[in-house]
Structures are given as C-alpha cells and as structure tokens.
Amino acid sequence: MAGDWIKMRVSLPDDPAVIGMAAALGMDEFSVVGRLHALWSWADVQSRDGHAHGVTAAWINRKVQRDGFAEAMVAVGWLEIGDDGVNFPNFALHNGDTAKSRALGANRKQKQRASSTGHADGHDGVSSMSRNQRDENVTREEKRREESSVPDGTGAKAPLTPDEIIFGYGVPLLTSAGTADKQARSFLGGLRKAHGDEAVIGVLRECIRAKPLQPLEWLAAALPPGGAKTKPNAQEALEASNRAVAARFLEKEAAHAGH
C-alpha cells in the first residue's frame, strides 16, 4: 500500500482526454474525474506496478458504476486490458511511495525557491543572476519532461499529433452518436483536407464542449465539408431536369418569334 493520497492535476477536468471521455459516455467532466479518482486510488492501494491480475473491464465498470468507462479509458491511453488483467500505463512515474517522495521533494524545492525570492537579499548581482538562471533551467527542464511524457494514470500525457486529436477524439464522438466508423473517418478526413488541421481541431473541441445530440450535423454546420458536391435526391434531380427542359423550350420559342 502506497499511502492515503494520490497525485492528480488541478487542471484534469479541462484535459481533452477527460472531455472526450465525457462526450463518449454522455456525462459531465466532473463525473468522469470523480470516477478516475476512485479507480486510481484503488489501483494505488492494490497494485505495486500498475498491473491488476484477474481484473476485467466489466469489473472496472462495476467499480465506478458506469458501463463503458474502462473502454473509454483505453481509448485515451489511460488503461490497457489484457487476457490476464488490466494495466495502468506508466504507473511507477505517478503512483507508489517513490513517485510520491519525488512529488513531495519537488514541492519542497518549489516552496524554498519562492521563499528565497520573496525576501530581500544582500547578495550581489552575480549571485542573484545565478539563482535566477538556476530557476529558469529548472523551469525549462520541468517543461521538457512534461512535454515528453506519455499517457499515465494521473492524466498527464504526451502532446498529441493533429492526426491523433482529430481521429482519436472525433471518431469516438461521432460513433457514439450513431455514425459508422468508416463514415466518421471519411467525414473528418474531408474536413481537414478542406479547412486544415488547426480549424478542424478548434471546432472539434468546441463540439465536445457543446455536446450536441447530432455532432455530425453540428460539425458540418460549423465547417461545411469541401470537395465533391452533394448528390441531389430523386425529387431534386427531377425538378432540375424539368427546369432545363422548360428553359430549352423558351429559348426555341424566342428564336422562332425573332424570324
């Protein structure tokens, strides 16, 4: 047992992975975070290396009282399900006594730096600059580690590529509302080809937050798909044909009257 607390980020409810899970499960982000906290706390107590032998997705869904929760975690890279149990990726980096000792040590150093910079000092400019440089180096190193991290049981994850964002969040969003997987991928591919990755990612995030009942129609209204024109239905085709025949008839009548 690793202790009576776990590491969780204060910004976790705003994580795109949490937003995506909430959209896929049809629930709010705070309900997702609460269930994540309960499950990660259980794993911190019951597992030493992140592997829980014999545990199934069905058991996890019962544990958090939500069908599909385990599968939603798998989709965002926070859970792996195997024949012999489940695994929480990169467990040792954020759970267990060693990880907690690192977190407490980092917190102490941060408070020490804040305390030293909050009082007037009698050091000369060289010493002050040296301390500032050390702080900047620490900040850069922490940022580098954060950017190079991968999905794990605390919500921290590596920066996703545009392809991973668009299809990793877009496809579950559309398929959960009844759109076929192939159609969802084709639709998202058409959007990014017509409008570019940045525009599609921005609108996709807004759609996840808006939680419309028909996300496919919502996205199409926000960013109309480019490329081929929509094929008219039978009635529209008939009306277009009739208009063309009438136009040719009027042209012939006008030409005959001119002679």
Write the pLDDT tens digit of every residue in 183-227.
889 889 888 888 888 888 888 888 888 888 888 888 888 888 764
- Residue 39: domain span: 12-93
Q: Are residues 168 and 206 in the same domain?
A: yes
pLDDT at 159: 61
Domain assignment of residue 71, yes or no: yes
All residues at 6 or more sequence positions from 170 whose CB lies less than 8 Å from its CB, including other chains: 184, 188, 200, 204
Helix (H, G, I), strand (E, B) or coil at 80: strand
130 is a domain residue: yes
Q: How many CB atoms lie within 10 A of CB 229?
A: 5
In this structure, what are the phi and psi dihedrals at residue 228, rounded to the nearest 5 degrees? Answer: -65, 145
Residues 25 and 49 in one domain: yes
For 62-88, the pLDDT digits (tens) are 999 999 999 999 999 889 999 999 998
Give pLDDT, residue 6.
75
Residue 212 covered by a domain: yes
With respect to residue 7, please indicate whether it lies within any of the assigned structural domains: no
**Same domain flag for 19 and 86:** yes
Is residue 5 one of the residues assigned to a domain? no
Enter the pTM of the model: 0.41
Burial (CB count within 10 angstroms: exposed 0-12, middle 13-18, buried 19+), residue 27: middle
Note whether residue 250 is domain-resident: yes
Per the prediction, the chain carries an average pLDDT of: 76
Q: What are the Cα distances from residue 219, in Å, to 28, 127, 186, 206, 229?
A: 20, 56, 13, 9, 17
Same domain, 42 and 58: yes
Residue of higher predicted confidence among 15 and 48: 15
Residue 52 sits in the same domain as residue 107: no
Report the number of distinct structural domains present in the chain: 4
Specify the residue for token string 């009739």: 242
- Assigned domain for 23 exists: yes
How would you class 66 by CB atoms within 10 Å of its CB: exposed for 0-12, middle for 13-18, buried for 19 or more? Answer: middle
Q: Are residues 210 and 248 in the same domain?
A: no
Structure confidence at residue 129 as a pLDDT band (50, 70, 90): very low
Residue 254 and residue 202 share a domain = no
68 lies in some domain: yes
Q: Any idea which of 23-37, 109-123, 187-201 has the lowest mean pLDDT?
A: 109-123
| Residue 81: alpha-carbon gap to chain centroid | 20
- pLDDT tens column, 154-170: 444 556 788 888 888 88
Same domain, 19 and 83: yes
- Are residues 89 and 16 part of one domain? yes
**Angle CA 163–164–170, to nearest 5:** 90
Task: Indicate if 78 and 58 belong to the same structural domain.
Answer: yes
